[in-house]
A and B are shown apart, each in its own frame.
Chain A
Amino acid sequence: MFVEYTWLVPLVPMLCFVIIGFFGKKMPHGGGPLAIFGAMFAFLISALISYEFFTSAAYSSPGYVTEQITWFSIGSFDINIGYYVDSLACLMMLFASFISTLIFIYSIGYMHNEGVKRRRYFAEVSLFLTGMLGLAVSSNFLEMFVFWEAMGLCSYLLIGFWSFTHPNGDDASDNAASAAKKAFLVTRLGDVCLMGGMFVLMYEFGSLDYTAVFDTAAMASVDPNMLMLGSLLIFGGVIGKSAQFPLLDWLPDAMAGPTTVSALIHAATMVKAGVYLVARCFPLFAQNPEVMLFVGVIGGITAFFAATMALNNMNIKKVLAYSTLSQLGYMFLALGAGGYMMALGLQSGDSALIAAGAVGYTAGCLHMANHAFFKALLFLGSGSVIHATGTEDMREMGGLHSKMKITSITMLIGSLSIAGFPLFSGFWSKEIVLEVAMHAGDYGAEGYLFLVLWILAIITAFMTAFYMFRMWFMTFKGKPGHGAEHCHGESPKSMTIPLIILSVFAAALGCIILFGFDDYVTIGIHAGQFQVGSGHGHGFMGWLEDIFLSAYTYLTVALVLIAIGVAYVMYSKMSINPGKFNKDGNSLLYKALSNRWWFPRLYDQIGWKMGYGVAKGVEFVDTQVIDGTVNALSSAVAGSGDSMSKVQTGNVRDYASVVVIGIVVLFAVMLLLFYFMGGA
């Protein structure tokens, strides 16, 4: 009844984009209310679709609804367009549209000084939402890719929102322009990999439809090497989009855009697309334990590295950016570890392993949903602080708690949640992720790697708690800085109300794991086919119990509490000077962290040498060697000795001689030809 109207979900924000783009100038708030309406409408339909999908018995088998029409065809390959709804798609639509609605409402207050530029802003964010919703409901890889790239475009445009006439002056404009370019190019590197992956799949499966590719029989009949190549290439796209190691460098730079855009990119759209794609391709990736191992390793490494970079950063938004990277790493760790177990289970036919794999899937998706809420909350909260103080540097903040109570408390909730404080949202998903990673360590020849990753992940949990509370204490407690003195109090209602709503979810959403989330968002084998929503039945409860029974949970919680305590004494009570540990910022480690382990410099060098360096060489060949030869030839033919001096004259006589010579040569060729033709 509602599911048939799934195509409306991306279409309505798309229409808002078009309308605001053309007529936004005359609308109030540059079209903001229309954008909010579009997002809200998308949320409402998504909610209705999800309700119908979850309650109606008609959809429980085969666990998805898909409808598509042929768009065009490439040779004998039909390219379709349509929708594909299953529990994963429902989850994505729901949180993407809900959080976007709140962000758009918040934007009305946050962007009210931007004047005519708001039209561009609201048009682009609407397109951004279109991209995410379209991606969630697409029925095949190519359609998904269209929306995937639309998001890449929007992130480029929005990160570069202030890439000219920046309110903070020319340097900021330069910075924004360069950050936007970097974001697009780095994700583009991933995207061309993804495109390569699609060619492999299209050739091997003869179609890019999800139903055709994820068919068990089809996957079994394809050359396993090509399957692995295709999977790895697709994961390459994910690495770019979700900013995983080693392509993680663009996301911190992307902070040059408005804070609301950061919230959108980190919470509701863009980087979540990568997680979605891995979850969507789970059946494909799980054909091969090595692929899933790779996913897990990349996730674990990113989680750890990104967390280290956040430890000493002074920019409130950048701390949050690194925390996103780190949390995304957790999601990929969960999916990778789960997928690894599932792949082994599929090979050996061990149903317990397959069920354990499904837990990893659920954990990854739950963490994605939780992260969406607390990260949106944290970014919007930081936006509220930046709006009030006019600075992003935490050293200039401090003591804001008394002036901005709502922002302060809601951000505290967000920080507790992301740190994994017991019973907050983040706690549930993070503990299950850790459990899955540890569990995966027991199986297979390379399983020990997951044990290493598990240890890294626990250290990461410690670091997360530390840097989040470092941020909170530096901002809201401690001595008021220079920016805090300018603070004119709490932000307007349009900004604080979304914060309050989000904080409720950030605190409590994780509890859905106790109420059957695992029955819906899970993956299993049903009637020989992979099916989202038919996993482990009620075996999941055992995993939940383990959270409370396992000693490691208490170890993690203890580490989190210690980290919060350390942050408190260092940045709120200030009884320990953090400078003591890093020679006041001169230790090698401190420099490594604040230079992001020198990744940006490395990339700049590579990018510059491989791009501009080679280009200079090509340019030399082009102007001197090739064109030089052409010009020299014309001069030489004319019998002029100093050829190079005359090359630029464009002397008709010179060229005319070329023609004469040319014709002579051509006649010779002609004679040769007739000789070969046998005197025709």
Chain B
Amino acid sequence: MFFDLPFEIPYLLTLLLVLPLVGAVATLAMGGERQKYAKYVAGAFSGITMVLSIMLLFVPDLAVYNESYPWIETAGIRMSYILTVDGLSILMVFLTGILVFLSTVFSAREHDRPHYFFALILAMEVGLMGVYMAADYFLFYVMWEVTLIPMYFMISWFGGPRRHYAAIKFFIYTHVASLVMLIGIFAIVFGAAGGGIADFSFEAVLAGSAAFSSTFQTLVFGLLFFGFAVKMPIVPFHTWLPDAHTEAPTAGSVLLAGVMLKMGSYGIIRVCLELLPEGAQAWQTTMVFIGILAMIYGAYACIAQKDLKKMVAFSSISHMGMVMISMACLSDIGIQFAVFQMFAHGLISAVLFMVAGATGHNIGTREIPLLGGLAGKVPVLAAFMMFGFLASLGLPGLVGFWAEFGIIFSFYEYTISIDMIWLIAFCLISLLLTAGYYLWAMQRSMFGRLTEKIDLSHIHDLSRPEVIALGATCALIALFGLWPDLALGFIKEYASSLALSLGVV
């Protein structure tokens, strides 16, 4: 990085995990009379966490911050508390820090039991940070499950009219998937141990992974892949996502789409690709197929949606499909830009969900057919919506374009290598469809004749906190769009070493 942090912060990674936890407890304590101050407590804790996660970007040598302590040790099992940050996770940690703080800011006007609300956001941050920093499979799995619980309550307490259905669907669906994943984790851990002490740390498993047979790799890859991919999500195991998003409050959606979906693709790279190169080879074609399906299917589903937020949710599926095909290329460019797309989509989907949420509570409805011609009434909201849509449809100069460009190029290389160059057409078609559904939604909701179907006297433009949160995210989108190396620089080395170990460069 162009600027090195001149000092060391002891226990930085643990702080990133503990601060939100303390914050969650402190916020929870702000019940009763003190409710209205809950947001400041939450803001302070998530703010400090964000600052720390930004400082992490300027650390000259990340390895210094690795932390490792024994946790559970029995005769046959060794589980540890190991935290690391590397090229793959650093952007995700940064993204988590930023988005948690900004969604706290965005929700500053939450009046319904704010102490619970903000405590849940912070609790979610604990899990998210944990997933991205854990370097021990047991810790990883625990953190993975930790993210589910606050999200479940977030939806079922603060959600829309069908919140219970959506919350339970979300919980069961992803929980079943993570059980499958758990089996996969047991398989790799015990497989790597080969009858000795089962050490759950990433390092030990990686060391033992050389002994995996190709049949074993293929099978276990399938289990783990399924567990992670449901989270991404993939078609046809995606139906929990639109429901969860439609019912979740805005901050919940932002975190769900911005950071939680990335846990799935993060897991695939971190576990499946790192440990099981032969499995990856065997599943490559399937992954490509799944990616293309998600991309096209998601884009078409968007066109048909009437709820603005549901449309944005389906667009997430489409964009995560891009991440999937990118990973499936198993090349350095593919992996690098898969991670970059995860990061880019994290920022962009945050804007999209904030905008969709603001449409819901500032205008009163998110139903596109009920909206129309509102740009004159809510100019600031319309401007942010335009910006978010443009960023998401891949306007050059904004961060999403570079991610898509790199992804499609890596896919192009892949299609050349298998002599099926026409496959690239699917990517291009999806770009076109993406532009189509966004502009059509824009036309129907903000442009054209002023709607007469809703009461216009109560609509109001964005409040100050909302503008700040949206403005900051948009600024980041523009910054990383003008200077993509700022993010790409972190991933590059990791991607090329992983591609090397996969044997396909």
Q: Which residues on A are within 8 Å of B, measured CB to CB?
A: 71-75, 77, 142, 145-146, 148-150, 153, 156, 160, 163-165, 170-171, 173-174, 176-178, 180-181, 184-185, 188-189, 192-193, 195-196, 199-200, 202-203, 611-612, 614-619, 622, 626-627, 630, 634, 648-650, 652, 655, 658-659, 662-663, 666, 669-670, 673, 676-677, 680
Contact = CB atoms under 8 A, between A and B. Distances in A.
Given A74-B406, A630-B173, A658-B172, 9 more contacts: A149-B396, A153-B390, A163-B447, A171-B449, A178-B448, A199-B412, A615-B303, A626-B236, A652-B168
Contact of B408 (A153, A199, A614, A648): A199
A203 B424 CA distance: 13
Contact of A146 (B302, B333, B396, B413): B396
A163 B176 contact: no
B44 interface: no
A659 to B, nearest CB: 6
A611 B433 contact: yes
A181 B216 contact: no
Contact of A74 (B162, B165, B300, B333): B333
A179 to B, nearest CB: 10
Which 5 pairs across A and B sit closest by C-beta, in order of nearness? A650-B165, A615-B303, A170-B449, A177-B447, A619-B304
Contacts of B169: 630, 650, 655
A677 B216 contact: yes
B373 A170 contact: yes
Interface stretch (B86-94, B120-128, B188-196, B459-467): B188-196
Contacts of B183: 666, 669-670, 673
B210 to A, nearest CB: 14
Given A74-B406, A174-B448, A670 B186 contact: yes
A170 B450 contact: yes
B428 interface: yes
Nearest to B223: A669
A297 B346 CA distance: 46
A617 B484 CA distance: 38
Contacts of B58: none
B243 to A, nearest CB: 8
A622 B301 contact: yes
Contact of A196 (B176, B179, B416, B424): B424
Contacts of B303: 611-612, 614-615
16 contacts: A72-B483, A74-B406, A150-B396, A164-B373, A170-B449, A181-B440, A199-B412, A615-B300, A615-B302, A619-B301, A626-B235, A648-B162, A650-B166, A663-B179, A669-B223, A676-B216
B18 interface: no
For B215, B301, B424, B443, the residue with the greatest tally of chain A CB atoms inside 10 Å of its CB is: B443
B190 A195 contact: no
A173 B447 contact: yes
Contacts of B409: 74, 77, 199, 202-203
A674 to B, nearest CB: 8
Contacts of B219: 673, 676
Interface string B361-396: 000000000000111100000000000001000011
For A75, A156, A185, the residue with the greatest tally of chain B CB atoms inside 10 Å of its CB is: A75
B413 A618 contact: no
A203 B416 contact: yes
B160 interface: no
Interface string B394-422: 01110001100110111011001000000
Contacts of A655: 168-169, 172
A118 to B, nearest CB: 14
B217 to A, nearest CB: 11
Contact of B373 (A173, A200, A658): A173
Nearest to B411: A199
B158 interface: no
For A165, A622, A634, A649, the residue with the greatest tally of chain B CB atoms inside 10 Å of its CB is: A622
Given A165-B376, A677-B191, A615 B304 contact: yes
Contacts of B390: 153
A677 B213 CA distance: 8
Nearest to A175: B448
B272 to A, nearest CB: 16
Classify the secondary structure of B's interface with A: helix
Contacts of B168: 650, 652, 655
B59 interface: no
A612 B443 contact: no
A6 B168 CA distance: 60
A192 B223 contact: no
A648 B165 CA distance: 7
A142 B408 CA distance: 14
Contacts of A676: 215-216, 219
Nearest to B164: A650
A547 B175 CA distance: 80
A218 B277 CA distance: 36
Given A666-B179, A669-B223, A177 B448 contact: yes
Contact of A615 (B238, B301, B424): B301
A172 B168 CA distance: 47
Contacts of B416: 203
Given A174-B448, A174-B449, A619-B304, A149 B215 contact: no
B13 to A, nearest CB: 28
Interface in B298-314: 300-305
Contacts of A74: 333, 337, 405-406, 409
Nearest to B450: A170
A392 B406 CA distance: 46
Given A75-B336, A149-B396, A614-B300, A184 B447 contact: no
B447 A192 contact: no
B443 A181 contact: yes
A669 B219 CA distance: 10
A195 B408 contact: yes
For B239, B332, B483, B488, the residue with the greatest tally of chain A CB atoms inside 10 Å of its CB is: B239
Given A75-B336, A618-B297, A649-B165, A192 B448 contact: no
A178 B443 contact: yes
Contacts of A177: 443, 447-448
B239 A195 contact: no
B485 A72 contact: yes
B57 interface: no
B449 A71 contact: no
A165 B373 contact: yes
B220 interface: yes
B446 interface: yes
B55 interface: no
B446 A164 contact: yes
B476 interface: no
Given A195-B431, A202-B409, A658-B176, A626 B239 contact: yes
B436 interface: yes
B396 A145 contact: yes
Nearest to A165: B376
Contacts of A669: 180, 183, 223
Contacts of A156: 439
A309 B422 CA distance: 36
A72 B432 contact: no
A72 B375 contact: no
B206 interface: no
A171 B450 CA distance: 10
B436 A75 contact: no
A680 B447 contact: no
Contacts of A193: 428
A71 B300 contact: no
A192 B428 contact: yes
Interface in B420-444: 424, 428-429, 431-433, 435-436, 439-440, 442-443
